[in-house]
Amino acid sequence: MSTSSHTGHRRIAIVTGAARGIGAAVAQRLAADGHAVAVLDLDEDTCQNVVDNITRAGGTALAVGADVSNGTAVETAVDEIAAKLGAPTVLVNNAGVTRDNLLFKMTAAEWDTVMNIHLRGSFLMTREVQGHMTEAGFGRIINLSSVSALGNRGQANYAAAKAGLQGFTKTVALELGKFGVTANAVAPGFIETEMTAATAARMGMKFDELKTRAAADIPVARVGVPDDIAHAVSFLASEGAGFVSGQILYVAGGPKA
């Protein structure tokens, strides 16, 4: 596979939560950009389809199973990636779950599950990978936030986690900038994925109905698709984005903040 001009030379990228949805689209886009990609999700077997898609297109990919909220698993996964692909210098913290509930009904377990995957997971992955980046004098950290960071009914846990990721992103940008490492966050709006389909089911409505309702409130008059997010991540991961750091990019079809 030829390396695209904007990456300079092949880099090693890790995308978490990459078995489906936004993560899969991002992994495939980074591979098309010329990166070797570690496709990481909770279960290695679920990553194989994305790996196969990448290799069929002429790219290089590795399926990796790890719980990003487990420090030992993260350390083992990054060591495996470094040994099999090379030192990772691009990290996309995309792994996430929802446990929606109104505040008065939300359990501590629902709160903790969301915090552990989104916040603790992003922290552990970033801490583990940053050494490879600072040693290389180049790094791109891209965290997946959400418009829910601005507040969303029934998502006190998710909104808090996604807002927390924005503060985390800005702090990492301050700490690692002098080593050639940037940190940015992409905050998607309504994206057509299995997660939003599950939301429709929970609300007792057809997915098409939910998408139509969502599109009516979006200035570009459509809902997003995973490739919309992948394009944004591709830019932030590129060589040319070296002067963009500590930013939150809302990819939501209109202004959000």
In the block, tokens 């808090």 appear at 160
Residue 249 CB coordination number (10 Å): 18
Quote the DSSP letter at residue 88: E
Select from 200, 144, 195, 193 the least CA-distant residue to 168: 144
Q: In this structure, what token pair is assigned to residue 220?
A: 């570009």
**Can you name the residues that pair with 124 across neighbouring β-strands?**
none
**Can you name the residues that pair with 37 across neighbouring β-strands?**
13, 61
List, in sequence order, every beta strand (DSSP E) within the chain: 12-16, 36-41, 60-65, 88-93, 139-144, 181-188, 248-251
> Which of the residues 111, 138, 158, 250 is marked catalytic?
158
Known catalytic membership, residue 250:
no
**Can you name the residues that pair with 183 across neighbouring β-strands?**
141
99 contact partners, CB below 8 Å, separation of at least 6: 106, 109, 110, 111, 113, 114, 157, 158
Select from 49, 16, 56, 48 the least CA-distant residue to 32: 56
Cite the active site residues.
158
